[in-house]
Amino acid sequence: MEPLKKSARTGKEKQQKIFQAPKGMHDILGQDALLFDDLRSVAGAFADSYGYQYIELPVLEDRELFVRSVGVGTDIVDKEMYVVRTQGGDALALRPEFTAGIVRAYIQNGMQNLPQPVKAWTFGPAFRHDNPQAGRYRQFWQADFEFFGADHPIADAEVIQFAVKLSEGFGIPDVCVYINTIGCAECRGQYRKALKAYYRSKSRKLCSDCKRRLKTNPLRLLDCKNETCVMIRKNAPETLEYLCKDCSDHFRKVLGFLDDAKIGYFLDPYLVRGLDYYNRTVFELKSGNQRRQESAETDGFEQNAPAREPLSFGGGGRYDYLMKLLGGQDTPAVGFALGVDRMVDLAREERAKAFKTGPNVYLVQIGDAARMQALRLIEELRTHGIAARFDLSRDSLKAQLRNADREQSAYALIIGQKEVLDNAVILRDMQTGIQESVLMHKLLETLAARLKQKHKTR
């Protein structure tokens, strides 16, 4: 039942609806909001150094764009898209991911005429009408990176190295790469046949979704999370056994480059990813800490088969056919997306330390004349890069000093009537309680020196 509240204002029995965020969607507040912002900055800095340019995309795209690229028979297209009918009768979808939109933008904006390769990245919310649970939301954020115009296996290795280094740079503990290859259009045909033959013999035991997948999109049988289907998967044919020579060489080289770059990985023969546009290399990222924790709760830690698989915080792969499929020129591509919500969950403890004790100052004022001084001072501090906290509506010295304490401010700057007359400020070290009077024209210089000293001794 929806929570109801009586209206206190009218005193009548009128009942008000208490609004909640839609199911599976959440507000991002306080420290998490800082961490989201922080991840965006870290991603931006890494994107700069690896040569990715930022692009911003519409939240809505033609529904058909995702049907064609992500594919019929995938959970995203069959069950999870938020489809909107416009007044004009168009069917649009809230983006369930970014790759299709970036490819659409590449074609529409003639990016094939730019010097190749082209690298683009973006950051924002995506939407999937999934079953909400821990780490799985209906609105979630992704940082997405796409690399167009390079078919060499070094591009796959570069993208994986980039994904790992960025994740480590944000503080994800013990980043693990899970990798596989799903071959090309030719060798995948053989694999699909073998997969169908295997699953047909077990079809009575499959879940209803997999019975349908067996007919429409057999590769998606390997994505199923149903317990019985996961058990059946254990003896299914592996993609590696069906690769053509070119795909096999490509994969061997990718692994060789990763070895050279000292990027560790687990070979996962059943990793096929839940989207249809991939060919050859596919990969996912998980945190080893999380993996060990979850395994310890169940059956112990095995190298290649953890008892209960944790959610991956990132994933990607090669998709050489998508550009042509969407009407562009044949262009090889490889990319990945990081799940921002999941990364913030994983790195919260480590990353949050950075926000705990930034030396800042708290402005305390007593009386209207001091308030005027304070207002001027806030701007002066800001232009000199000093973060000030304040609550100018308060009068009580005690309450303001309590706030300074809560904010973990390094110094309180106290302006009372006497200070206004003397054109001075009391500088109080919040840790030691020692106070000194500083003339206003000396304040910035004194404060900068004191804050520098604090930084050194932290």
- Residue 73 as a binder of ligand HAM (CB under 6 A): the answer is no
> Which one of 116-124, 135-143, 191-199, 401-409 is the stretch in contact with ligand HAM (CB under 6 A)?
135-143
Provide the 3-class DSSP secondary structure of residue 26: coil
Nearest of 196, 161, 179, 320 to residue 246 by alpha carbon: 320
Asked whether position 223 contacts ligand HAM by CB under 6 A, the answer is no
Q: Which stretch binds ligand HAM (CB under 6 A): 186-194, 212-220, 308-316, 370-378?
A: 308-316
- Tell me if 332 contacts ligand HAM by CB under 6 A: no
Shorter beta-carbon distance to ligand HAM: residue 339 or 416: 339
| Shortest Å, Cβ 253 to ligand HAM | 19
Are residues 69 and 99 in contact, defined by beta-carbon separation less than 8 angstroms?
yes
The full 3-state SS of 85-141, as one line of letters, equals ECCCCCEEEECCCCHHHHHHHHHHCCHHHCCCCEEEEEEEEEECCCCCECCECCEEE
Rank residues 140 and 257 by Cβ distance to ligand HAM and give the closer one: 140
Nearest to 40 by CA among 59, 24, 54: 54
What is the CB neighbour count within 10 angstroms for residue 87?
5
Residue 231: closest CA among 216, 221, 218 = 221
What letter would DSSP give residue 220?
G
Contact flag: residue 38 with ligand HAM (CB under 6 A): no
Residues 52, 191, 251, 313: which binds ligand HAM (CB under 6 A)? 313
Asked if residues 232 and 199 have their Cβ atoms less than 8 Å apart, the reply is yes
Tokens of 307: 């008892």
How far apart are CB 81 and ligand HAM at their closest, in Å? Answer: 12
Query: Applying CB under 6 A, does 158 fall inside the site for ligand HAM?
Result: no
Residue of 184, 179, 168, 163 lying closest to 335 (CA atoms):
163
Q: Is 144 near ligand HAM (CB under 6 A)?
A: yes
| Phi-psi map region of 327: left, alpha, beta (phi>0 left; psi -120 to 50 alpha) | left
309 is a site residue for ligand HAM (CB under 6 A): no
Per CB under 6 A, does 129 bind ligand HAM?
Answer: no
CA nearest 316: which of 153, 182, 169, 145? 145
Residue 353 φ/ψ, nearest 5 degrees: -55, -35
Query: Which residue stretch of 36-44, 128-136, 380-388, 408-416 sits at the interface with ligand HAM (rule: CB under 6 A)?
Result: 128-136
Tokens 């930084």 belong to which residue? 455
**What is the smallest separation between the CB atom of 77 and ligand HAM, expressed in angstroms?**
12
Write out the binding residues for ligand HAM, residues 97-126 only, by CB under 6 A: 97-99
- Judged by CB under 6 A, the residue of 61, 146, 223, 419 near ligand HAM is 146
The β-bridge relationship of strands 91-94 and 118-127 is: unpaired
Which distant-in-sequence residues (6+ apart) come within 8 Å of 211 by Cβ?
203
Q: CB under 6 A: which stretch of 27-35, 206-214, 329-337, 437-445 binds ligand HAM? A: 329-337
Antiparallel, parallel or unpaired: β 15-17 and 435-439: unpaired
Least spacing, CB of residue 136 vs ligand HAM, in Å: 4
Tokens of residue 173, six digits: 């503990």
Torsion angle in degrees (nearest 10) through CA of 265, 269, 270, 272: 70
Task: Using CB under 6 A, pick the residue from 66, 140, 283, 362 that binds ligand HAM.
Answer: 140
User: SS3 for 40?
Assistant: helix
| Cβ-based neighbours of 87, under 8 Å, separated by 6 or more | none
Residue of the chain from 339, 347, 404, 427 that contacts ligand HAM (CB under 6 A)? 339
Whether residue 172 contacts residue 347, with contact meaning beta carbons closer than 8 Å, is answered with: yes
For residue 265, the minimal CB distance to ligand HAM (Å) is 16
Q: Does 342 sit near ligand HAM (CB under 6 A)?
A: yes
What is the pattern of x (binds ligand HAM, CB under 6 A) and - over residues 268-297? -------x----------------------
Does 142 bind ligand HAM (CB under 6 A)? Our answer is yes
| Nearer Cβ to ligand HAM (32/130) | 130
Among the candidate windows 7-15, 205-213, 315-323, 362-370, which touches ligand HAM by CB under 6 A? 315-323
147 binds ligand HAM (CB under 6 A): no
The tokens for 247 are 């795909």
The closest alpha carbon to 138, from 148, 147, 128, belongs to 128
Residue 167 interacts with ligand HAM (CB under 6 A)?
no
Smallest distance from ligand HAM to CB 155, Å: 12
- E-strand stretches of 211-353: 266-267, 279-287, 314-318, 333-339
Q: State the minimum distance, in angstroms, from the CB of residue 75 to ligand HAM.
A: 10
In whole angstroms, the minimum distance from the beta carbon of 123 to ligand HAM comes to 12
**Amino acid found at 244:** C
Q: Which of 32, 130, 151, 294 binds ligand HAM (CB under 6 A)?
A: 130
Backbone phi, psi, residue 334, to 5°: -150, 145
Contact with ligand HAM (CB under 6 A): which of 136, 196, 211, 389?
136
Q: Contact residues for ligand HAM (CB under 6 A)?
A: 97-99, 128, 130, 135-137, 140, 142, 144, 146, 275, 312-317, 335-337, 339, 341-342
